[in-house]
Chain A
Amino acid sequence: MNIDNTASQMRKGVLEFCILSIIKLGEAYPSDIIDKMKSANLHILEGTLYPLLTRLKNAEFLTYRWVESNSGPPRKYFSLTEKGATFYSELESTWLELANAVEAITSKQ
């Protein structure tokens, strides 16, 4: 067993949840999401973010609109759909349950 792998696996599991919660606060540009996560000390490669966003978008949890930018090509700004909102709330409840359970188990030891 490799500690890095397990750790990255744990991170990966909550990644979608984190991304959705950031977008839930308002329209977001991918590099903003990266920055926000970085500031919360959750490091993620941009290259892994784009496929995640596309996957979520294809599952109709996210939608986007084009915004002209002065620096380079137009940007994609992502926002949550209604379906995404319900998905998020389900994820949130699962997360809370899980967090409580983990908390309960780990604090016993």
Chain B
Amino acid sequence: MKKVININFQGSVVPIEESSYELLQQYIESLRVYFANEEGKDEIINDIESRISELFQEKLKSGSTCITDEDVNVIFQNMGRPEDFEEAEVGEKTMSEGAGTYTDTGSARFSLKGKRLYRDENHKILGGVCSGIAAYLGIDPVIVRVLFIISGIGFLAYILLWIFVPGSNVLVNGARKRLYRNPDAKIIGGVCSGMGSYFNVNPWIPRAFFLIPFISFFFRWGHFGPLTFPNFLSFSFSPGTLIIYIILWLVIPEALTTSEKLEMKGEKVDLNSIKNSVVQEMEGVRERVTKMSQDAGSRAREKSGDMGREVKYAAKKTTGAIGNIIVTLFKIFAYFILGCIALALIVALFSLAIVSIGLFPLKDFVLNDGWQSVLAWGTLIFFIGVPVVGIITFIIRRIARIKSHNRVIRYSFLGLWFLGIICFVSLLISTAGDFRRTSSANEQMIRLDSPQVASLEVNSLDYNRYNRNNSWFRLEPFATFDDDTAYIGNVRLRVEKAVADSFQVGVMKMCNGKTRRYADTLASLINYNVFQRDSFLMIDRAIAINTTDKFRNQNVMVVVYVPVGKHIKINKNLRNSRNIRVEGPWHDDNWYDWDDDNYYFQYGVEYIMQEDGLYTLSGIRAGDYEKYQNDWQSEQDERRNNNHRNSNDDSYRYDQQTEVDSLRIIKEKEMEEIQKSVDSLKSVKEKQIMKMRDSLRQAKEKLEQKLEKLNDNAISEQASYRKGIPENSFIMHI
């Protein structure tokens, strides 16, 4: 009992047994391969096909109900199979070469083709790479094998050679193999069994390659029991194999028909030399390219036709040639913008994927086990993984011109991605909930061993522990992290004036949490070390948290209370870590940009606490921004001042800017004088200074009021004075 199908063959309907149809297809395919390097390939095939069709019709007219295997085989006999053609060709080769080296079997294939490197499939253990190399070098394969096993890199090299070195068995038998998924021996998608057939090995070998690293992923990135994988392995595999598997699954076609299955196994000789297969492959590429260019051409013509029509329509409406141009330009512009947006989206997606993979090890420190963890996985796989795989698949399919007539795949992709969005959003909501409440602030005083020291230097504890920056990916405030400990650089240092006459140090631990009580408990659990050693105050650079006490924005503020007249110094090693911040009485604006801190406070410099704040030993007030400006800056200022003076001397300039600037100069001078007097008198006449300061402040206020008035006046007068002002000097002061 055989299934009969109707085929449309060369314009006529032919009832044919399914198996015969397979044979026919296979025969024509083999001809196609054989004639691949022939000039009029398509014409030849077409002629042969129409001849076969004619023979079919004759057969049907003579009374057969359908075409059978026997009929087909008789026809093939008459027409001749590629192997039959080949006989003559081989002879031709021998004649033309004029050499007597021809032998009928593959035993002397190396002498026939000269020495070339092949995989020896007849003496193989795994892929025949070693035996092939041995045959090439003329040594015992055991030696090569031992060398390969001893050198660890041999493994990767082996696989590469396996893929790129043609197998000699393939050469001799002329089997043309193609990579298919094997639906008969599949476990998941048949990818591994297909690869097994392709490389002619047990399907469990590719399976092992996919599985072992995947198992190892669960056993902590590249460690599997006593085994430790080399670095490149644990990097390239891990969950990557899953993605590779899925991509292969989507890209490799499934071997459905008999001929495809035969092709997969490389059985049934279609082709008598590997050269032809390469030629055919090249032919295929060429065809594809010409097709593509034709396609593009016709599409462009179509598009331009469409556009032309639209433009015509537009022209009718606007009755102007400019209209067409505008419409066309607008369209080009719109396409360009769309292309840019699409590209940006793809780039964003891929960078998001990279970032989230980098973030993933931090997951355990932030998220609770259970639902949140599941949601994180869901986000990674569905929200980020699915579109990445989808885009890669789409691009590969486009390049390979595989038509996807499978809507199910598309819709399931879309569905999975929506699932990913849901995961992502709910993860965000639930994580945000965990950070909702802040703990109450309570400061604990640290007992110092000798609070009476004359000076205290704040130093970093255990510098080396945090300094190794082994992570390729950094995320604030995570300084570094191990498998079970993360270090958060949420440490702030604050310098205050002490009420008493000895040093005091307070530590404030704060934290976020779902509830205030939870946040308080978590804050009390923060393990942070501060202690005094002689004249050093040792502090931790970062807060250590583990996976049970999650990251809930733990932060610590160390407050050093410095008595008046005593010295404080912050070691430079605290600046090197970007995670520690120093603040003090010099600025109280909490919102102030942290990055400017270094301008206001100098690390590694000794400061002295005065009644009204910190000063350096040379008398510069901490946080006095103007004083820290470098020479260039002050030079600039000077030049600017000179300009003002010049313009004032010339006295033809009375616009708003000059007024304002000159007033500012006066004010600055006054401030400097105050500063100087303060420096000279500070230890003795503090009260006077205070008085003076008060009076000066009043004066300043008066000046400011004046200035405002002048501003108003200037605006009204500006118009009348603008004439006669040289342009360059005007620009200079803007």
Contacts and interface: CB of A to CB of B under 8 A. Distances in A.
Given A47-B79, A72-B53, A8 B91 contact: yes
A48 B80 contact: yes
A73 B102 CA distance: 43
A58 interface: yes
A54 to B, nearest CB: 4
Contacts, number: 90
Interface string A57-70: 11000000000010
Contact of B90 (A5, A12, A57): A5
Contacts of A69: 54
Contacts of A72: 10, 12, 50, 53-58
A19 B44 CA distance: 16
Contact of B50 (A4, A8, A54, A73): A73
Nearest 7 pairs of A and B residues by beta carbon = A45-B80, A5-B91, A47-B80, A72-B54, A72-B57, A54-B40, A47-B79
A47 B39 contact: no
Nearest to B88: A8
Interface in B22-45: 31, 35, 38-40, 43-44
Nearest to A1: B100
Contacts of B11: 73
Interface string B75-94: 00011111011011011101
The DSSP consensus for interface residues of chain B is: helix
Nearest to B11: A73
Given A54-B40, A71-B58, A72-B56, A47 B50 contact: no
B186 interface: no
A15 to B, nearest CB: 10
Interface string B432-462: 0000000000000000000000000000000
A30 B51 contact: yes
Most chain B CB within a 10 A radius of its CB, from A45, A47, A57, A69: A47
Contacts of B58: 71-72
Nearest to B56: A72
B54 A73 contact: yes
Contacts of A58: 39-40
B67 to A, nearest CB: 13
Given A45-B85, A47-B85, A55 B39 contact: yes
Interface of B: 10-12, 31, 35, 38-40, 43-44, 47-48, 50-51, 53-58, 61, 78-82, 84-85, 87-88, 90-92, 94-95, 100, 102, 104
Contacts of A57: 40
B47 A76 contact: yes
Most chain B CB within a 10 A radius of its CB, from A4, A8, A9, A54: A54
Contact of B87 (A8, A73, A75): A8
A106 to B, nearest CB: 20
Interface residues of A, number: 28
A9 B87 CA distance: 10
A46 B78 contact: yes
A9 B85 CA distance: 12
A8 B87 CA distance: 8
Given A6-B91, A47-B79, A73 B38 contact: no
Given A8-B88, A71-B61, A72-B12, A46 B39 contact: no
A105 to B, nearest CB: 19
A79 B452 CA distance: 120
Contact of B54 (A51, A53, A71): A71
Most chain B CB within a 10 A radius of its CB, from A2, A30, A73: A73
19 contacts: A4-B87, A5-B88, A5-B91, A8-B87, A30-B47, A45-B84, A47-B82, A48-B80, A48-B85, A50-B48, A51-B44, A54-B40, A57-B40, A71-B54, A72-B53, A72-B54, A72-B55, A72-B56, A75-B54
A75 B50 CA distance: 8
A66 B50 CA distance: 12
A7 to B, nearest CB: 9
A71 B52 CA distance: 11
B47 A12 contact: no
B88 A46 contact: no
A34 B245 CA distance: 53
A100 interface: no
A50 B44 contact: yes
Contacts of A89: none
Contacts of B56: 72
Contacts of B12: 72-73
B664 to A, nearest CB: 92
A9 B91 contact: yes
